[in-house]
Amino acid sequence: MREAFTLEQLQELWAKLNLRYFRGTLPAVDIEWSPRLTASSGMFVSRIGPRTRTTGSADPPPGGRLIRLSLPLLQRQSDKEILSTLAHEMIHQWQFDVLKKRPNHGSDFRETMAAMNRDGLGITIRHDLDEAVRALAKYAWRCLRCGRVYERQRRTIRPRHHQCGVCRGQLRELV
């Protein structure tokens, strides 16, 4: 298994993408590898609101912004997949920090993604790492009515409180 990008390498990639695609408008952001992020390949997190004023500094307060990348899902992936995930999260950061709106996959996201993809970045709305996500699942529940199986990395489904999203049937944990 190859080594994942170091945090320093990720910050360098972020800085290059920021200059090339966002004209350097994105404020500094921390980037981390998360061993616990197992359902998605990446996540942009803000601990302060988009309209919160800073104290005159060009940089956001420490811990104010974070791009979290999934170590379990991405460590075996190609450099291009990791770059694509980082770029995806940077578009969300741009929506939040520059457009001052809640990150989503709407028209401004898609337009920016298309522009970046013209250079071959391969950014997508959804990752295609479903097999890797399923491989990390430790818990599963089956609907007693329609048979649908729900897999999770944590025991988040409580059969007394939850029901099948397809037919509203009762769920039973698989052992």
Catalytic residue positions, numbered: 89
- Nearest-angstrom CA–CA distance, 93 and 144: 42
- Nearest-angstrom CA–CA distance, 31 and 144: 42
Q: How many CA atoms lie within 13 A of 18 on its CB side?
A: 16
Show the tokens assigned to 54. 């800073």
- Nearest-angstrom CA–CA distance, 49 and 153: 29
- Nearest-angstrom CA–CA distance, 96 and 125: 17
* Helix, strand and coil percent figures for the chain, each rounded to 5: 35, 15, 50
